[in-house]
Amino acid sequence: MALLLAALPLRAEVMVRDMFDAPGAAQTLRELYPDLGVSHLGSQLVVSGTPARLAEVKSTLDALDRPPAMLNVEWRLVGEASDQGWQLGLDQGNLTLNAGRRSATTSGHWQVSGLSGKPVRLTLGTTRPVVLYGWRGERWVQLAEEREGIAAVPTLVGERVSVAIGASNKTPGGASRQQLSSEVSGRLGEWIELGAITQAEIASQLGTTLGQGSEALRQRLQVRVTRR
């Protein structure tokens, strides 16, 4: 009889609770309590388990159920350009050699605000004239917008933040192209590098003078998340 009683399952109960972030809370509970049944529907979290385990879960949810933090998401584009070269020639019968190097730094900065765990979007656009032709040969000029957008979902956990990044652009013809997305993480308040583009060009000169020059451009896109 004792063995039979020990084999009987313990009584299970179901707890339903409204949460600020039900999907995030469900994911956290699955990691902390893998033996419980956890699901969510909209803003409601549903947890099934023994009364003792649900009491533990309630304490955990009391700590988790906080309004999402308001965050600032900043992007900056840092460009570093440099050029160098040399030139060998004759000046009134004398051999001359000239060499030089220059460098410059440019940057752009943008900022948007949003809630932790919710998407924010930065859209940059330019307007340029486009020539259109009719079927009778007539032509007219129309201003068309070309837009590039960066969407981000910042999620704050303690003093660390993860940022899911996606990009898209819209051409004057109305077509949109979604680019690859990625996710980065780092400390709250630090600049996190998303990627870099490097371009280099070398040119040579022949004739009465000899010379060679090179130009290089490196652009880095970075993101930073801070509390508002």
pLDDT digits (tens, 9 = 90+) for 173-226: 554 555 556 788 889 899 988 776 655 555 555 555 555 555 666 777 888 889
Measure the CA–CA gap between 39 and 26, rounded to whole angstroms. Answer: 6
**What is the overall mean pLDDT for the chain?**
72
- pLDDT of res. 4: 40
Structure tokens at 162: 């993860």
**2 has pLDDT over 50:** no
Q: Which residues contact 157 (CB under 8 A, 6 or more apart)?
A: none
Q: Express as a percent the part of the chain with pLDDT over 70.
A: 61
For the four alpha carbons of 82, 106, 181 and 188, in that order, the dihedral sign comes to: positive
pLDDT band at 25 (very low <50, low <70, confident <90, very high): confident
- For residue 25, the Cα-to-chain-centroid distance in whole angstroms is 23
Name beta bridge partners: 76. Answer: 109, 222
Q: Which residues contact 36 (CB under 8 A, 6 or more apart)?
A: 29, 47, 48, 49, 53, 57
Q: How many CA atoms lie within 13 A of 63 on its CB side?
A: 8
More confident call, 28 vs 92: 28
Measure the CA–CA gap between 5 and 1, rounded to whole angstroms. Answer: 6
- pLDDT of res. 26: 86
